[in-house]
Amino acid sequence: MLELPETLRVELKDPLGEIYTDPDALLAAVDEHAETTATADASPPPRLLTVGDVVTATLADAGRQPDIAVIDGRTEREPVDPAVEATLADLAGRRLLVTNPPATISESLLTTLREAAIGTEYPVTISVDGEEDLAALPAILALPDGASVVYGQPGEGMVHVPVRPAVRTTARELLADFDGDTDAAISLFD
């Protein structure tokens, strides 16, 4: 398990991508990024992974269920409102449950993200018993170039992180600064 050190908390408050408030504009950016690396694979890789209940529900309500969603039933440490909960309950696809305590990235979360990202059956919803706030970093490592990670930025909107080598390097560097066996965690995605 990786633990978030106090020294890294401030750095992680900076968004890793552009912030959107309009879901349609965000989804257009996701599609544009995916088109730059599209292949003719019979089963295309996941293109959209969301971290957070409100972000996931917002995009689902806008007509686009994520290929992989990571949710925990909370927003800003409070239970989600009934409308968000109803949207999340209606998500199609497989549901996986992991345990991930606050301010950590558990082995269970890491391996489930990896398996979901290399799988072929989408959509997948990963329900976290605990907290999903840090899942964006390993998600960036798990997904192929051309995919997008979208997470919530409290009080500002939705952050779109187009997965490409430079952002993957940033995610690796941030994870390397966590407490715990960072080499083993990062090697899961090599």
Position 42 scores a pLDDT of 54
pLDDT at 45 over 80: no
Q: Which residue has the higher pLDDT, 34 or 70?
A: 70
Position 182 scores a pLDDT of 95
Residue 54 annotated as part of some ligand binding site: yes
pLDDT, average across residues 17-35: 95
Position 181 scores a pLDDT of 95
pTM over cut 0.85:
yes
Position 153 scores a pLDDT of 94
CA distances (Å), origin 55, targets 8, 41, 47:
24, 28, 16
Nearby residues of 17 by Cβ (< 8 Å), 6 or more positions away: 159, 160, 161, 162, 167
Are 174 and 137 in contact by the 8 Å Cβ rule? The answer is yes
pLDDT, average across residues 108-118: 94
Domain boundaries, the chain: 18-35+46-187
Are 146 and 47 in contact by the 8 Å Cβ rule? The answer is yes
Are 132 and 68 in contact by the 8 Å Cβ rule? The answer is no
Position 161 scores a pLDDT of 98
Residue 55 annotated as part of some ligand binding site: yes
Are 15 and 153 in contact by the 8 Å Cβ rule? The answer is yes
pLDDT at 23 over 80: yes
Residue 132 annotated as part of some ligand binding site: yes
pLDDT, average across residues 36-48: 70
Q: What is the pLDDT of residues 118-166, one digit of tens each?
A: 888 899 999 999 999 999 999 999 999 999 999 999 899 999 999 999 9
pLDDT, average across residues 163-186: 96
